[in-house]
């Protein structure tokens, strides 16, 4: 076993005193640990274990010792002891990966001074090389794991607790430690701070640059539409591709303004499905892990970089204002924006009775005016008298019905037939 800064002494301290120490001290379980202000170790604690920092980092670059101890319901499992300490001879070494074969052989020799060992190497999921040291004997009761990061030696010993001394470590237990180490990450403090500074903007009131995206955008052929809008839980993007035969392909994303404030980045849980426009039912769901980036070019056109299947290739979208859609009501009047194509709207208008029964209905044909962000619609009820109405949005994103100089505010309705 390599002797890093009285490691054997600290290991004895951990094994013999950890339980009593933990019972008399407020235990603190960790998922990450800052080491002397230089780097942060992050890990996923194995099931049935808790991490206890037995020898705290004093902030002066001294020795840090931690123990992964089985919980009460996982008794009888090995303990994992981790020691982290600087080494002046390795001060310029960033990682174990950086050492050549000669340097590695010198480190290997320190493990062979007292015992006959077998040495192999592994890499974590983040590319950190780790030396695995295993005694060559009938009963293997400890396994050593060793690496270097930013001039610090990091050593972990998998060992049986005192009451199980002499019990062999199993291959399954070694595999569990290898998985634990594979998921471990070492992050320089500077990188952690930079990541913390890279804040994404989910709300237009906090990030006015995001407001430029919030609108309805259409492609030149009129078959494609993108709606970007703000909700309480952030920015949403819906893309509609009209296919004909009452079918539409739809993409839905949650998004945020990137730290550079020059694009909308989506959460990689984008939904793509095909919908029947008459029944509203989904014919087919293609995937639920879509990802995309939206930008506005110098010409003011919205570009959709579909990272999943490149569906937005060669498409440019022009801002036309907010899309008028959904179901809106005020009293007995209900308005449904039921269809849209190239700025043309089919609008269903109902008058309902006290029990929701339809007393009268009309179909209005509407044209969108991009300059005023309104829809001018005309139609008639069953009595045949034609009328004209203007639809617009107010500051609260409610639809406003204006007719003959009078305005009525409609609120979004969740009424279903």
Using one digit for the tens of pLDDT, what is the confidence trace for 156-196?
888 888 788 788 888 888 878 777 777 777 777 655 444 44
Task: Look at residue 403 and tell me whether its pLDDT is greater than 60.
Answer: yes
Whether 35 and 43 have beta carbons less than 8 Å apart is answered as: no
Task: Look at residue 252 and tell me whether its pLDDT is greater than 90.
Answer: yes
- Greater confidence, 20 or 46? 46
Distance from C-alpha of 218 to C-alpha of 241, rounded to nearest angstrom = 10
How, if at all, do strands 282-290 and 142-149 pair?
Answer: unpaired
pLDDT at 322: 67
Task: Look at residue 251 and tell me whether its pLDDT is greater than 60.
Answer: yes
Average pLDDT, the chain: 79
pLDDT range class, residue 296, cuts 50, 70, 90: very high
Output the CA torsion 343→292→326→244 (10° steps). Answer: 60
Rg over alpha carbons for the chain, rounded to the nearest Å, is 33
pLDDT at 77: 83
Distance from C-alpha of 262 to C-alpha of 274, rounded to nearest angstrom = 31
Which residues, at least 6 apart from 62, have a Cβ–Cβ distance to it below 8 Å? 5, 36, 85, 86
Query: How confident is the model over 247-275, as a mean pLDDT?
Result: 89
Task: Look at residue 293 and tell me whether its pLDDT is greater than 90.
Answer: yes
Sheet of 129-135, strand order: 49-55, 64-70, 79-86, 152-159, 142-149, 129-135, 117-123
Whether 141 and 159 have beta carbons less than 8 Å apart is answered as: yes
Distance from C-alpha of 200 to C-alpha of 207, rounded to nearest angstrom = 9
Whether 107 and 141 have beta carbons less than 8 Å apart is answered as: no
Distance from C-alpha of 272 to C-alpha of 256, rounded to nearest angstrom = 19
Using one digit for the tens of pLDDT, what is the confidence trace for 23-76?
433 333 446 777 766 677 777 777 788 877 655 555 555 677 777 788 877 777
Query: E strands within 57-165?
Result: 64-70, 79-86, 117-123, 129-135, 142-149, 152-159
Q: 10 Å Cβ neighbour count for 20?
A: 9
What single-letter DSSP state applies at residue 184? -
Helices (H) and strands (E) in the chain, counts: 4, 28
* Domain 7-194 -> CATH class: alpha beta
Domain ranges, ordered by start, for the chain:
7-194, 208-321, 326-412
Angle value at C-alpha 119, between 57 and 77, nearest 5 degrees? 60
DSSP labels for 240-305? EEEEETTEEEEEEEEEEE-TTSS-EEEPS-EEEEEEETTT--EEEEEEEEE-EEEEE-TTS-EEEE
Task: Look at residue 3 and tell me whether its pLDDT is greater than 50.
Answer: no
Secondary structure (3-state) at 223: coil
Distance from C-alpha of 40 to C-alpha of 34, rounded to nearest angstrom = 4
Angle value at C-alpha 89, between 83 and 94, nearest 5 degrees? 70
Q: 10 Å Cβ neighbour count for 376?
A: 17
Secondary structure (3-state) at 381: coil
Task: Look at residue 14 and tell me whether its pLDDT is greater than 70.
Answer: no
411 token code pair: 């609120």
pLDDT at 307: 92
């Amino acid at each position: 076993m390599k002797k890093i800064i009285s490691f054997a002494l600290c290991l004895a301290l951990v094994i013999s005193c950890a339980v009593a120490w933990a019972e008399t001290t407020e235990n603190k379980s960790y998922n990450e640990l800052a080491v002397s202000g230089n780097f942060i170790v992050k890990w996923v604690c194995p099931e049935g274990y808790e991490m206890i920092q037995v020898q705290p980092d004093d902030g002066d670059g001294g020795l840090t010792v931690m123990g992964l101890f089985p919980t009460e319901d996982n008794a009888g499992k090995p303990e994992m002891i981790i020691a982290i300490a600087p080494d002046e001879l390795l001060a310029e070494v960033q990682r174990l990966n950086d050492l050549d074969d000669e340097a590695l052989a010198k480190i290997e020799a320190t493990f062979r001074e007292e015992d006959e060992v077998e040495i192999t190497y592994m890499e974590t999921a983040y590319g950190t090389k780790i030396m695995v040291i295993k005694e060559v004997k009938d009963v293997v009761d400890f396994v050593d794991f060793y690496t270097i990061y930013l001039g610090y030696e990091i050593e972990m010993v998998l060992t049986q607790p005192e009451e199980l001394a002499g019990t062999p470590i199993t291959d399954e237990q070694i595999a569990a430690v290898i998985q634990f180490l594979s998921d471990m990450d070492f992050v320089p403090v500077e990188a952690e701070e930079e990541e913390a500074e890279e804040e994404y903007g989910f709300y237009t009131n906090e990030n006015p640059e995001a407001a430029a995206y919030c609108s309805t955008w259409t492609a030149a052929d009129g078959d494609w539409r993108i709606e970007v809008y703000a909700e309480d839980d952030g920015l949403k993007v819906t893309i509609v591709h009209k296919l004909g035969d009452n079918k539409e392909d739809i993409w839905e994303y949650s998004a945020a303004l990137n730290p550079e404030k020059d694009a909308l980045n989506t959460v990689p849980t984008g939904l793509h499905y095909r919908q029947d426009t008459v029944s509203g039912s989904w014919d087919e769901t293609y995937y639920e892990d879509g990802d995309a980036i939206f930008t506005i070019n110098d010409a003011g056109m919205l570009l959709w970089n579909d990272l999943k299947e490149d569906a937005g290739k060669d498409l440019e979208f022009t801002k036309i204002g907010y899309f008028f859609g959904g179901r809106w009501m005020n009293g007995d009047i209900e308005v449904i924006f039921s269809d849209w194509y190239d700025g043309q709207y089919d609008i269903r208008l109902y008058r309902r009775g006290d029990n929701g029964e339809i007393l009268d209905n009309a179909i209005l044909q509407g044209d969108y005016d991009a300059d005023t962000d309104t829809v001018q619609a005309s139609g008639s009820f069953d009595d045949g008298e034609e009328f004209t109405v203007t639809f617009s949005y107010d500051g609260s994103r409610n639809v406003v019905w204006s007719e003959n100089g009078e305005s009525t505010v409609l609120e979004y309705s969740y009424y279903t037939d």
